[in-house]
Amino acid sequence: MLDLVTFLDKMAIAQVTVVGHDWGGALVWNLAQFHPERVRAVASLNTPLFPVDPNTNPMEKIMAIPIFDYQIYFQKPGVAEAELEKNLERTFKLMFISSSDKDGFPKLTTTGVCQRGGLFVGSPDDPPRSSMLSVSALQYYTEQYSKSGFRGPLNWYRNVERNWRWMISRPRAKIMMPALMVTAGKDPVLLPVFATGMENLVPNLSRGHIEECGHWTQMERPAELNKILISWLKETHQKASISVHPKL
């Protein structure tokens, strides 16, 4: 989040409209909450704004939700890295599966990961490639992660408690700028029900929902998502007298 603020400062950008997915969604909610002067509008795909509870360590909440068990598995440095980096092509084929992929596609489950000893334990060695993951995208991910590995991304999960301590040390206010929450009906982890009651913290919240969509919303249902985003952007920015010219 502070990196984003620094980037805006370096680029001399006073305010932005931000859109995030998954961890990016958590990042843009936090930016809007703790640096509201830099955010004109905020949108998140799949990831709701989880209220910050100063009285409960977030790791306790994570351990109480079975579908978040993979986050517990990710905590010990080196363990998940070894599994995910062993066969990068297999890793991304198993990660990027859409809700419409049926016969022949493994169903990756995030419950019981610690007990079975790994996220991919029991998955095929050579899984099929989902149609939403192009050959060129698969090659790009494989090339990039062969250089960087998974330590950086996994450290997001290992920094949950530190981030929580930082957030509870600062004043927390409602997010008052225009906001959009897009939920996906078939996301097996970021369930739409998690976004219930967000209006209590985000009064100017608009909602979008794509029922036949899994976790990778922007990859699985790009046309439907773009329709929701562009409609919201037009409405939001026209109210602020800012022109919108989508090139899609």
What residues are annotated to the active site?
22, 157, 215
- Burial class from Cβ neighbours inside 10 Å (0-12, 13-18, 19+) for residue 186 reads middle
- Rounded-to-integer distance, Cα 93 and Cα 97, Å: 7
- Rounded-to-integer distance, Cα 152 and Cα 77, Å: 11
Please say whether the beta carbons of 42 and 31 come within 8 A. yes
The phi and psi torsions of 20 (rounded to 5 degrees) equal -135, 160
- Rounded-to-integer distance, Cα 198 and Cα 128, Å: 38
**Secondary structure letter of residue 19 according to DSSP:** E
* CA trace torsion 163, 169, 174, 177 (10° rounding): -60
- Rounded-to-integer distance, Cα 93 and Cα 161, Å: 30
Q: Which residues contact 231 (CB under 8 A, 6 or more apart)?
A: none
Q: Which two tokens stand for residue 59?
A: 């790791």
For 115, other C-beta atoms within 10 Å of its C-beta total 9
* CA trace torsion 150, 155, 157, 160 (10° rounding): -170
